[in-house]
Amino acid sequence: MLTAFITHPDCALHAMGPHHPECPERLSAIRDRLLALGLLDCMLQCDAPRATPGQLGRAHSMEHVRAVVAASRKEGLHSIDPDTSMNPHTIDAALRAAGAVVLATDMVQAGEAASAFCCVRPPGHHAERAAAMGFCFFNNVAVGIRHALEVHGLERVALIDFDVHHGNGSVDIFRDDERVLMCSIFEKGIYPFTGEDDSGPCMVNVGLPSRSGSAAFRDAVTQHWMPALDSFAPQMVFVSAGFDGHRDDDMGNLGLVESDYAWVTRQVMDIAHRHARGRVVSCLEGGYALEPLARSVAAHVRMLMSGD
């Protein structure tokens, strides 16, 4: 089976103004890199559908869903917070981004794809149950996870988040859901200034100091994530794949490189093969320096495609 590559042209139409780091060019940089390496030709390419209100409502309050739809503008920009805005195309992009993870979940669960990478924007892991923030409107991975739990009847799902920023939205949605084990590593002391207090039997959140580098990152995965994941034995693994911890991305300062993203993806794949029949659904989150982003995603995708 092939790894699915799920995206949609609508995701490139959302824009939050000139010089905004979360820009449409992120997707074209990734696609161009995968094409140049010959990886995209070996993937199952699919268009992302729009998520339905019912699918969104499993992760978000319906009031939030209606508010985001209502905020969509016919012209100009509408500010959600100082860093997050909507243009006339944002709602379609946001619906496609969440719908991509639903489709990926269906395909991987049905055995139509070995794994999946959702190359979509806007990102999602800062979106809380009832609030948009931090470039995010709907929590794409959370929508897919709840689809796996409620529609496909899975009992244990893991969420891996290696974005440089803590996934506060995912914590807000899954804090009390014992069916979901969330494992994250993030840089302490930067936006959204959360995470260090989010611990518990189903939360393994590890904050690392600035300039921690590869060794500290890999040690945190080995010492904290892997025992918890093996004990939990997830039936499917979801990844909030943020690449802004790269040493050339000024949105964070962890000092990671492409080989770190390949390595952590290999650990995720090992967990999935031990417990989840290899089922992994990954979704793009951060990563704003275009060349390092493209190289890091390629390393991640290559490992997703590697199978056993």
Q: What is the pTM of this model?
A: 0.97
Give the whole-angstrom CA distance, residue 211 versus residue 256. 9
CA angle 156, 229, 159 (to 5 degrees): 60
Q: Is the pLDDT of residue 199 over 80?
A: no
Task: Tell me which residues are annotated as active site.
Answer: 126
Q: Is the pLDDT of residue 30 over 90?
A: yes
pLDDT value, residue 16 = 96
Give the whole-angstrom CA distance, residue 242 versus residue 118. 12
At the top level of CATH, which class does the domain 3-304 belong to?
alpha beta
Mean per-residue pLDDT, 76-105: 96
Q: Is the pLDDT of residue 248 over 80?
A: yes
CA angle 168, 252, 261 (to 5 degrees): 85
Mean per-residue pLDDT, 267-271: 98
Mean per-residue pLDDT, 124-151: 98
Ramachandran region, residue 211 (left: φ > 0; alpha: ψ -120 to 50; beta: rest): left
Band of the pLDDT at 198, cuts 50, 70, 90? Answer: low
pLDDT value, residue 146 = 98
Beta bridge partners of 185: 206
Give the whole-angstrom CA distance, residue 107 versus residue 129. 25
Q: Is the pLDDT of residue 201 over 90?
A: no
